[in-house]
A and B are shown apart, each in its own frame.
Chain A
C-alpha cells in the first residue's frame, strides 16, 4: 500500500511539474516566437511539413505587434527559455548579437551548405548581419517586407472621377509615382462621398507607443533624401538627419496627415490602417507588404477592387524596411532541433511553398523564378521595394534611438508642436546624447 502511495505521489508530482513549467521544452518539441499577424498563420501551415518530416512538434508563441518588442525583448533580457527559435525584428539584431541572445550561424551555414548568396542581398544585409555589411550571420532571412501602399482600384476606375481628376491635374487618376502626386490624389478623394459614405485620402501610420510613426514618416523621409549619417559608421548626423531634404520629407508627411487622414487616426498603426481601408473610409493606405495577400483575398475590398503600389519616390526611390530574420535563441535547451528547423526552412522547395502560402520568401529560387512577378498582383512591387529598402538604426541602442524619434515625430506631426526643422534638430541632439553615452561619439 505504501509503495502504491509513493508511486501515485511520484506520478502526480511528475504530472504537476509537466503542467506547471510550460516553458520547459521537450526534446522533440520546438517553440517558435513571432508577431501575431497574417504571415504567422502561413508559417503554422508550412511547419506542418517539418513536423511530418522530423516528428518534431512545433509550438508557436505569437505576440500582437504593439507588444511584440516589449514581450520578446523582456524574454531575452531575463534569460527566459520560452523561445527556441525567434523571428525577431531587423533592428534587434545588433543588440541581440552583442548581448549573446542569438546563436551565431556562420559555422552551421558552412557545415550544412547554406549559402547567404542564395538569398536577396538586401535581405541578408538587413536581417542577418551584424556588424552591418560583414559576413557575420545571426539569422536566416525569413520574411522579406517593406512598407507599401494599396488603393481602391474600383474608385480610381470611376469614369466621372477619372474625368474630374484629369481636368484638374492634367494626368490620369492612377497610383501615384511621387509623394507630390500622392498628396494630390489623397486630397482629391478627401471629403468626397463614395457609395454613400464620406471618404478620406489616405490612412498613414501615426502610432506613438512602439514604432508606428517612425515607420510611416520614414516612408516620406527616405524618398526626400533623409540619411542617418553623412558618412557610414561615423555617426555624423548633423546635416543628414536634419538636412533640408529631410525637413521637406517630414513636412510632406505632416501635410498628408493634416489633409487626408480620417478623423480619429491620431494613434494608428497596422491594425487601424487596415480597418480604415476595409471599412471603406480611405482611398489609399500604407502598410506592410505582409498584409497584402490577406487584403487581396478580402471579400469586401479585395480582388478587383484593390490595387497595390510601391512607396512613391521623390528625389530618390526608397521604401522603409520591414521583415525579419529567423534566429536560434542562445538560451534554448534544444539548439540542435532549432538548427534543424532552420536547415529545413532554408530549402528552396520550402521557400517556394512559404511564398505560396503567403509568406514573403527572399530566396533567389523564389524571387528569380520567371513566374514570380505574375504570381501575385503585388509580387512585382515587392521586388521593386526590396531593392530600394532602407532601415532604421540597427545599433544595440536601437530601442532608445527609436523612442527619441517616436517622440519628436509625434510631437511635430500629430501634436503640432514646433517646426519640422526644430523636430529634426532636437532628434539629432537626442541621438548625439545616446551615442555619446555609448562611447561612439
Chain B
C-alpha cells in the first residue's frame, strides 16, 4: 500500500497518472513538485527563448557587425562599437528621439488628465453611466489601422469633418490649414488621435483605482468635516496615484515605441517632422537594409526604455509603500 498523496501537486500527478497508460503513469507518479513545475513551464520558457530572448541576443550580436539583410552573400565583419558610435552621433536620430519625447510627453499628459477626469465622472454612478462607459471605451477597441485611416479622412482639408468643425467654431476656412501636411500641426494631429484612442484605457485603470478606495475613509473625512476639495486632494489623488502611475508607465512604454498610428497618419512627414524613433528604425532596418546599424539603434532604444521603466517602477513602489 502506498501513502495517500498529500499536496495538490501530488494529487494532480496522481490523477494524471491514473488517467495515463501504466508505463507513463509510473513516471508521472514519480515526478517531484519541482519536476512537474518545470514540465508545465518549459513550453512557455521555450517559446519565450525562441521569440524573445534569442532575437534579442541575435540583435546584440548583429549590432557589432556590418551585416545587411539584403546582402546575404556578403562577408559579415565585426565592426566593434562603430554602429553604436554612428547611431549616437547621427543628428537625424537625435531629432527623431526629440520628436518621440515630445509625442510621449504630450500624449501621456493629456491622456492622464482627461482619463482621470473621465474616471472621476464615471465613478459618480450617474444615470446611464454604464452606457457612457461603453461609449467612451469604443476608440480603444478599434484597430490602429482603422483609426489611422479614419482620421486621415477626418483631417482631409477639403472634405474632412475635423477641418469643418474647426472652421465652424473659428471661422477659419476649412481648406486653409492642413493638419497632416503642416509642419507645425502634424505632431499635434497625431497627439490628438492617440489621445482620442487611448484615453479610455487610462480611464479604466484610474477607475479601478478610484473604486478600490474604501468608502469608510470618505465617511471618516465627512465626520471630520473635510471639504470635497480636501477629500479629493488628501484621499482620492494619493490613493489612486499608484494606479495613475501604472497607467502612465503602460502608456509611456507603448508610446515610446509607437509606429502604426504615425505611419498611417503621416508616414513620419511632412519632411521628418513626425518621424519618431520607431519609424527611423524601420527605415534603417527595412528600407535602407542597414541591419547592423539598426540593431545597434534597437538595442539603444531597448536599454533606454528598460532603464527608464526600471527607475519609474522603483518610484511607483515607493508611492505604493507610503
Interface residues of A (CB under 8 A from B): 69-70, 73-74, 76-77, 79, 95, 98-100, 207-209, 262-267, 396, 399-400, 403, 407, 410-412, 414-417
Contacts and interface: CB of A to CB of B under 8 A. Distances in A.
B284 to A, nearest CB: 9
B268 interface: yes
Interface of B: 69-74, 92, 156-158, 160, 175-176, 178, 180-181, 183, 263, 266-273, 283, 286-290
Residue of A99, A207, A412 most packed against chain B (CB within 10 A): A99
A410 B271 contact: yes
B139 to A, nearest CB: 23
A263 B272 contact: no
A403 B288 contact: yes
28 contacts: A70-B287, A76-B70, A77-B72, A95-B71, A208-B269, A208-B270, A263-B157, A263-B158, A263-B181, A264-B156, A264-B158, A264-B178, A266-B180, A266-B181, A267-B180, A267-B181, A267-B266, A267-B270, A396-B71, A399-B287, A399-B288, A400-B289, A407-B272, A410-B270, A411-B271, A414-B181, A414-B269, A416-B183
Contact of B70 (A95, A267, A416): A95
Contacts of A263: 157-158, 175-176, 178, 181
Contacts of B73: 99-100
Residue of B73, B180, B270, B288 most packed against chain A (CB within 10 A): B270
A414 B289 contact: no
A436 to B, nearest CB: 12
A403 B272 CA distance: 12
Q: Which 3 A-B pairs have the closest CB atoms?
A: A415-B271, A266-B181, A411-B271
B287 A99 contact: no
Residue of B70, B74, B156 most packed against chain A (CB within 10 A): B70
Contact of B72 (A69, A79, A396): A79
Q: Is the interface of B mostly helix, strand, loop or mixed?
A: loop
A289 to B, nearest CB: 26
A26 B289 CA distance: 32
Contact of A73 (B70, B74, B178, B180): B70
A403 B271 contact: no
A98 B68 CA distance: 14
A88 B139 CA distance: 40
B183 A208 contact: no
Contact of B271 (A209, A400, A417): A417
A263 B159 CA distance: 10
Contact of A262 (B92, B158, B183): B158
Contacts of A411: 271-272
A96 to B, nearest CB: 9
B140 to A, nearest CB: 26
A89 to B, nearest CB: 14
Given A399-B288, A411-B272, A267 B178 contact: no
Nearest to B174: A263
Nearest to B266: A267
A189 B267 CA distance: 30
Contact of B286 (A74, A79, A407): A74
Contacts of A74: 286
A26 B241 CA distance: 62
B71 A99 contact: yes
A99 B193 CA distance: 42
B70 A264 contact: no
A183 B271 CA distance: 23
A400 B211 CA distance: 53
B17 to A, nearest CB: 29
B157 to A, nearest CB: 4
B74 to A, nearest CB: 8
Contact of A77 (B70, B157, B176): B70
Contacts of B72: 77, 79, 99
B261 to A, nearest CB: 15
B285 to A, nearest CB: 11
B287 A266 contact: no
Nearest to B177: A263
A324 B70 CA distance: 20
A382 B204 CA distance: 60
A399 B283 CA distance: 10
A303 B287 CA distance: 39
Contact of B178 (A208, A266, A407): A266
Contacts of B266: 267
Contacts of B158: 262-264
Residue of B92, B183, B263 most packed against chain A (CB within 10 A): B183
